[in-house]
Amino acid sequence: MPFSRKYLTIWILLAIVLIVVFFLSLSFGAIHINAREIFSSLSNYFSGEALSLDERIFLDIRLPRAINCLLVGASLAMAGVLMQALFRNPIVEPGLIGTSSGAAFGASLYFVLGATLHFNVGTWTLPIAASAGGALATFLVFVLSYRKEKSQSVILLLLTGVAVNALCLSGVGLMSYLARDPQARSITFWNLGTMSGSSWNSVIIIGVSTSLCTIFALRMTKSLNALAMGESEALHLGVNINKLKISVIAITVILVAVATAFVGVISFVGLIVPHLLRLIRGSDNRYLLLGSALLGAILLSLADLTARLLLAPAELPIGIVTSVIGVPVFILLLRRNQHYF
């Protein structure tokens, strides 16, 4: 019997896995923290009692980092779903419309010229610089590919994205070239992505923006489904195409820029997660969006665990972990989806 897809089962399964992975990522790391210590640090914190060193590590470092992994993973994966639906192509990634590379350029500008230009507003400087760069680059892609007479062309948008990406990356290159050693190291580290800078500040900001974006994005899933048949068909089904495009791009920029601003460039999450979910149960965007939020959170937490444990007590940049897994999947996708080009 048609009409039933049993999405709920998948969502619940993913949620259970998510809880398990979350506790794993709370426990393991440079020091091991067991369940009793997790509860004692929480109860001591709320009753105002003195905290031991391990409990402090847990509350100030481990917990915000684990939550950020969930939030950033969910953000990047949902951005992937939204972009793929908008461009009607399963191999599109948020990085393609300039957001990630723009953010990287903004961050490297701050690393190298921040001190000279006296551009510094405390801990917020890097996130602001990166968000501004990401939003500007995306805006540039959008304006350069805008056609007044006709509707937006996806191919034009993608190719403009390629050009703007190249420009931003050469900007990052120039900054690395100009940089002194410690600055260059900062640029490199940030471009590879790291969860180690997670603080409660960043948890709150990413948390609020991700939740708001999720609510707005959920309202667009039906229109995005219709878009799978092409712009004119979606129009005939009552979708206001231009409004939809602008909203989806705005949401994606916020999701990606805010996450990237705090943790650096982490690629391929937006590509792998929706693809895995499509293999499990089809292409309904409502299923994909919530499913991606959950699976993205799971996979990024696992990637961060790997990054923390592989060379413990030293740490691997998380972007390297996601790329090592992501590149083969991307190539496989390219080869399997040749009829889309």
Partner 1 sequence: MLQLENVTVKVGPKVILDDVSAAFHAGKMNLIIGPNGSGKSTLVKAASKQLTFDGGSVKYNGNDIKNMTYQQLATFRAVLSQQTEVAFPLKVWEVVMMGRYPHFTTQPGSRDEQAVEEAMKYFNVWPMAERDYVTLSGGEKQRVNFARVLSQIWFSEQGQMRYLLLDEPLTFLDVNFQYQFMHRLEEFMQKNAMVVVGVVHDLNLAARFADSILLLNEGKVLVQGTPQEVLTPGNIEKAFNIKPEILKQKDSFYISF
User: Looking only at residues 263 through 322 of this chain, which bind partner 1 when binding is defined by CB under 8 A?
Assistant: 278, 282-284, 286
Amino acid present at 280: I
The verdict on 235 binding partner 1 (CB under 8 A) reads: yes
The verdict on 240 binding partner 1 (CB under 8 A) reads: yes
Considering beta carbons, is residue 239 or 258 the nearer one to partner 1?
239
CB of 8 to partner 1, least distance (A): 12
Residue choice 16, 232, 246, 334 for contact with partner 1 (CB under 8 A): 232
Distance, in Å, from the CA atom of 324 to the CA atom of 206, rounded to the nearest integer, reads 26
CB of 70 to partner 1, least distance (A): 25
CB of 85 to partner 1, least distance (A): 8
The CA–CA distances, whole Å, from 67 to 8, 77, 133, 154, 288 equal 24, 16, 25, 35, 21
Considering beta carbons, is residue 100 or 225 the nearer one to partner 1?
225
Considering beta carbons, is residue 7 or 45 the nearer one to partner 1?
7
Residue choice 237, 280, 324, 331 for contact with partner 1 (CB under 8 A): 237
User: Looking only at residues 79 through 118 of this chain, which bind partner 1 when binding is defined by CB under 8 A?
Assistant: 88-90
Considering beta carbons, is residue 209 or 223 the nearer one to partner 1?
223
Q: Report residue 102: phi and psi, to 5°.
A: -65, -40
313 preceded by cis ω (within 30°)? yes
Is residue 83 a contact partner of residue 260, using CB atoms and an 8 Å limit?
no
The verdict on 225 binding partner 1 (CB under 8 A) reads: yes
The verdict on 233 binding partner 1 (CB under 8 A) reads: yes
Distance, in Å, from the CA atom of 298 to the CA atom of 22, rounded to the nearest integer, reads 8
The DSSP result for 185-250, as a single string, is: HHHHHHHH--STT--HHHHHHHHHHHHHHHHHHHTTHHHHHHHTT-HHHHHHTT--HHHHHHHHHH
Compute how many residues bind partner 1; rule: CB under 8 A: 25
The verdict on 236 binding partner 1 (CB under 8 A) reads: yes
The CA–CA distances, whole Å, from 109 to 56, 132, 167, 182 equal 34, 11, 14, 14
The verdict on 239 binding partner 1 (CB under 8 A) reads: yes
The verdict on 228 binding partner 1 (CB under 8 A) reads: yes
Is residue 329 a contact partner of residue 275, using CB atoms and an 8 Å limit?
yes
Residue choice 3, 46, 177, 341 for contact with partner 1 (CB under 8 A): 3
Residues at the contact surface with partner 1, assessed by CB under 8 A: 2-3, 88-90, 222, 225-226, 228-230, 232-233, 235-240, 278, 282-284, 286, 340
